Amino acid sequence: MLLARLLLDTLVFPALACAVTFSIVRGIGGKSDPSRSAAAAVGLGMGYLTGHLRILGLPPLPPVDTTQWLFYVVILSAAAAGLWRGIGARWGTLAAAIPAAGLLGVTLRPMWTYHWGGGEAAIWVAGLFVALLLLWLSQDRMASISPEGPQQSLVYLWVALAVSAVLGLSATALLAMLASALAVGLGVLALISFFSRVPSGGWRLVAFVVLAGLLLNGLFYAQLTGWNAALLAVAPAAAWLSRAPWIRRQGPWVRIAAAMLAVILVTAPAVAEAAPAYPQASPYDY
């Protein structure tokens, strides 16, 4: 029964929510690129939120811990992603900056309240905010010069699976389950992208915020190491390898294979380092 419930909560319900929401939003908005982008963003967001609800329940208002805040930040991110694609891609940085600032504010609040002094808190928050924006800009630039297709969703799918594995090995089971719910939604979008055009602008913002939130929670409130968090955070940017001159002249499947290989090579050390520490990890960490 426990395994069946786990599969329902982290696999079946998120997949159904993502697929159904994508179909409904695209049916309402038509087949234009902005409509498809909004459908993918809302679909992925709904898939993750469904998993979050099944795993942790509906968070109270106001939330009392950082994982509960993540639920509402994802709602903001999905709304920002849909608005961004509606008003133009030039607003992409602003669309990413708003959820990033909100995510850092709610996630790091316990740290600056109970652990950091004023100067230390300012350095941490400013540094992480700049790092998040740089990571987003790198990935956004990569997507803007790459042909639309399954590459982006496959890259993020692998990263989400790696994040889930590393968090699970770091004795953060609940965070690992949330990452799995995100991975399922990304898998649905990857499957759709094999048969239909799915612009990546909107859903990438949702995936980026969820992954950043999970990594920040694992880093500051669980046993995720800084090295592993950094490797997982920069992993999507490794897909730049597919734009190397000797690769981009090849066919699409060669480019996808090169991107996936680069991402796998970046995430593999994080999984390998986390695995030996698993038996010593505390079972009480979330």
As a whole number, the mean pLDDT across the chain is 84
Say which range, 88-92, 183-187, 257-261, has the weakest mean pLDDT. 88-92
Q: What is the pLDDT confidence band of residue 267, given thresholds at 50, 70 and 90?
A: very high
Q: Are 167 and 218 in contact (CB under 8 A)?
A: yes
Rounded mean pLDDT of 86-110? 71
User: Considering just the CA atoms, what is the radius of gyration of the chain in Å?
Assistant: 18
Return the pLDDT at 116: 84
pLDDT (tens digit per residue) in 132-171 = 888 888 877 776 666 556 888 999 999 999 999 999 988 7
Cis (ω within 30 of 0) for the bond into 99? no
Return the pLDDT at 8: 82
Return the pLDDT at 233: 94
Rounded mean pLDDT of 88-117? 76
Neighbours of 150 (CB within 10 A): 20
Looking at the predicted structure, is the pLDDT value of residue 281 above 60?
no
Written in H, E and C, the secondary structure of the chain is CHHHHHHHHHHHHHHHHHHHHHHHHHHHHCCCHHHHHHHHHHHHHHHHHHHHHHHHCCCCCCCCCHHHHHHHHHHHHHHHHHHHHHHCHHHHHHHHHHHHHHHHHHHHHHHHHHCCCHHHHHHHHHHHHHHHHHHHHHHHHHHHCCCCCCHHHHHHHHHHHHHHHHHHHCCCHHHHHHHHHHHHHHHHHHHHHCCCCCCCHHHHHHHHHHHHHHHHHHHHHCCCCHHHHHHHHHHHHHHHHHHCHHHHCCCHHHHHHHHHHHHHHHHHHHHHHHHHHHHHCCCCCC
Q: What is the pLDDT confidence band of residue 3, given thresholds at 50, 70 and 90?
A: confident
pLDDT (tens digit per residue) in 16-69 = 999 999 999 888 877 777 778 888 889 999 999 999 999 999 998 888 888 999
Looking at the predicted structure, is the pLDDT value of residue 280 above 70?
no
pTM of the shown model: 0.90
Rounded mean pLDDT of 232-246? 85
Rounded mean pLDDT of 180-188? 95
- Spatial distance between the Cα atoms of 280 and 230, rounded to a whole number of angstroms: 22
Rounded mean pLDDT of 234-238? 90
- Spatial distance between the Cα atoms of 102 and 76, rounded to a whole number of angstroms: 9
Q: What is the pLDDT confidence band of residue 229, given thresholds at 50, 70 and 90?
A: very high
Return the pLDDT at 92: 57
Neighbours of 197 (CB within 10 A): 12
Q: Are 184 and 201 in contact (CB under 8 A)?
A: no
Return the pLDDT at 282: 43
| CA 100, chain centre distance (Å) | 12
What would the two tokens of residue 252 be? 């699409």
- Spatial distance between the Cα atoms of 64 and 52, rounded to a whole number of angstroms: 15
Rounded mean pLDDT of 258-262? 91
Q: What is the pLDDT confidence band of residue 105, given thresholds at 50, 70 and 90?
A: confident
